Chain A
Amino acid sequence: MIAGQVVQKNAMPFFENKKENLSEFLLSLYVFAGLNYPRFYKMDDLCKLGWLASEILLLGNLQPGKFLPEETGLVLANANSSLDTDLKYWDTVKEEPSPSLFVYTLPNVLQGEICIRNNFKGESAFFVFEEFNSSFMEKYVTSLLDNNRLSVCIMGWVELVRERYKAVLFKVEKEKGENPIPFTIENINKLFQSANE
C-alpha cells in the first residue's frame, strides 16, 4: 500500500520519503525499488502510482511461468476516476489539446499499463465507488476465481487527485501460498484501514 509518502508491503515498512512532492516521491520510489521500465516516464501520475504499487506487490512473488497470461487479471476501483489527468488534459485544451494526455483520461488505462508490463491477458474491470467497497469487490473477485476465469487477481484501490493519493493492492489467489490470509471482507477491510491517509 502506498499512502502519505509511506510504502508498506505485507504490512511491513518498505519505503518512505516525506520530503518530496508527489512526482518526486513516485520517482524516488521507482529508483529505490530498482525498477527499469522506460514506459514509466510516459505514464500519468495515476498510472505511475498504480503501476508502482503493482510492481512492489509482485516483487519476487509472481513466479514467471506459473500462471498463463489468461489466468491473471485485475479488479481495481477508485473514487475520482482519472480526474487528476482529466484536469491536466483540460488545461491543454485552451491552447493545444494533448493527445498523449487524453489517452490517460480513462481510469482503466492504469490496468492496461499493468497488463502490458506483466502480460496479463485475463479478466480486468475498473469500478468507481465513493469509498472502497470491499463487499462488492470481494464478491466479484471471488466469482472470477471460483469460476476459473482467473487463478490470480490483483484487486484494490488506486486513488489519486492532486497530490492526495492512496493505493492499496491485494494479490488474491485460488491456491494457498505461504502465510495465506483468507480472502474475506473482514480481512480486506482490516488491511485497507491500516494504510495511512
Chain B
Amino acid sequence: MPDVFVISDCIVSPLGLTTAENFDQLLENNSGIKEYEDSSLSEDPFFASLFGKETGPLNDKGESKYTHFEALLIQAIRTVIENSGIDPRDNKTMLIISSTKGNIGLLGSGSVTPELQQRVALHTSAQLVADHFHFVHPPVVVSNACISGSLALIVGKRMIDAGHCETAVIAGADILSKFILSGFQALQAISREPCKPFDMSRNGITLGEGAAAVVLSGKNKNADDCKVLGAAVGNDANHISGPSRTGEELAYAIGEALKEAGKTSTNVGFISAHGTATVFNDEMEAKAFALAGLSASPLNSLKGYFGHTLGAAGLIESIISIRSLKQGLVIPTKGFQRSDFSAPLTICDTLLKGNFQYCLKTASGFGGCNAAILFGRS
C-alpha cells in the first residue's frame, strides 16, 4: 500500500488560528474553557470553549454569505491550501467535510420553511465551502457523531490508498448552539466544572467550538511529514448513547489499525485518547487500552484545553498528536489529577519529552462507533 502523508494542517479554535498558535497555548497550559452566562444558549451558567463574538480574520474578505460554521471551515482550509501549495481545482483532489450538527443553530423560533431546511443541511454548507475554493468534485460529508473527524481522515486515506484521488483535503467543524447544549444538559452529561478526563472525580463533558483541516497526499512535501499508517472503524453493537461495557470493540479497532500499519502495541509511543470525561467513556477506553496491550503507553486527553469539539475533535486532536510526534512533546491531560481504574494505565499529567515514533488516536461516539488511527514519523 502506498504511503499517505499529512502534508499540511491547521487548527482554528479559541486558542488560535494555526496549529502552531494552538500548540504553543497548550504548552503554556492555557485552555479555551471559560464560564459563560448566556441566556440565548442556556438558562444556567455553563463552562465551554467558545470563539469570541468578534472573530476578526474570519469576518473580513466579505464572508458574510457564509455562516460562522462555514467561515471556520473556510479559514482552516484556506490555511492548509496556502501552506501546502495544492490546487483545489485539480481533478485528483477531493474534499471531505466532517461535522455532527453543522448549521443546526439556524433553527430559530419560526417554522421551518423548505428554504431553511435546505440551508441547514450539511451538504449545503459543504458545497458552499467547496465552491469557495473551486473543488471540482462534490464534497463528501461525514456525519458520524464524535468520530466524524477521525472517520473523515480515514476515508481520505482509503480513497488515496485505492487510487481514487491523489490529494484529499479533510476539514471539520462544529459550533455551539442552544440545540446542542440543551441536549447534553438534558442527558446530564455536562460537567459542573471544566472537564476532568480520566480523573476519578470526572462528571461529564465540556463542549467546545473548533475547526481543523489537513491535507493528505500520496507524496510528502516536507521531510518531517508524518504518515497515516493504519486505521480502523468499528461498532459496539451495544447501546446507542452509552459505550460498551468491556471496551473490546475499541480494542479490536485499535488492533486492526496496528495490524494495517504492520506494528504492535509495543510500538505505540503515546495515545491521544477520546477522553471526554464522562464516567462511562473514559472507563470504556481504559479497558480498551488495557485489552489492546497499551497499559504502558502514555496517554492523554486534550478535551481539557479544547473542550469536546464534536465533529472537529478527531481532526484537532490528531493534528496536535502529529505535532507532538514531530516535536517529541506529549501534552499533559489538563483536568486530570488521580485515577482509580481497575485496568493499569499510564496517564500523562505533565509535559512528556521523548523520542516518539508512532502515536495512536482513538475516538468513540453515539451510535456505538469507534475509530483508531496510527500516525508515524517518516
B-binding residues in A (CB < 8 A): 69-70, 73, 79-81, 83, 86-87, 89-90, 93, 97-99, 102-113, 115-116, 118-130, 133, 136, 139-140, 142-143, 146-147, 149, 161
Contact = CB atoms under 8 A, between A and B. Distances in A.
26 contacts: A70-B252, A73-B235, A80-B117, A98-B186, A99-B186, A102-B183, A105-B101, A105-B183, A106-B100, A106-B145, A106-B365, A109-B145, A112-B239, A116-B237, A121-B237, A121-B252, A122-B234, A123-B234, A124-B233, A125-B155, A128-B126, A129-B123, A130-B127, A133-B138, A139-B159, A143-B159
A99 B187 contact: yes
Contact of A103 (B126, B162, B240): B240
B101 A122 contact: no
A63 to B, nearest CB: 18
Interface stretch (B207-215, B268-276, B341-349, B366-374): B366-374
Contact of A140 (B126, B143, B158): B158
B167 interface: no
B117 A83 contact: yes
Given A99-B186, A116-B239, A106 B164 contact: no
B254 to A, nearest CB: 13
A124 B371 CA distance: 10
Closest 8 CB pairs of A and B: A112-B367, A102-B183, A128-B141, A97-B186, A99-B186, A115-B237, A108-B367, A97-B182
Interface of B: 100-102, 104, 107, 112, 117, 120-124, 126-127, 138, 140-145, 151, 155, 158-159, 161-162, 164, 178-179, 182-188, 232-241, 249, 252, 256, 365-369
A112 B117 contact: no
A92 to B, nearest CB: 9
Given A106-B367, A139-B162, A127 B141 contact: yes
Contacts, number: 160
A98 B179 CA distance: 11
B237 A128 contact: no
Given A111-B235, A139-B162, A149-B232, 17 more contacts: A81-B102, A83-B117, A97-B185, A99-B187, A106-B367, A108-B367, A112-B239, A115-B235, A115-B237, A115-B367, A115-B368, A123-B232, A127-B142, A128-B122, A128-B126, A130-B121, A136-B140
A124 B233 CA distance: 7
Given A103-B240, A103-B366, A119-B237, A89 B142 contact: no
Contacts of A127: 140-143
Contacts of B141: 127-129
The DSSP consensus for interface residues of chain B is: mixed
Nearest to A99: B186
Contact of A108 (B122, B138, B145, B252): B145
Contacts of B239: 112, 116
Given A116-B239, A130-B127, A108 B232 contact: no
Given A70-B252, A93-B179, A129-B141, A103 B235 contact: no
Given A129-B141, A130-B138, A121 B249 contact: yes
Contacts of B122: 81, 128
Nearest to B120: A83
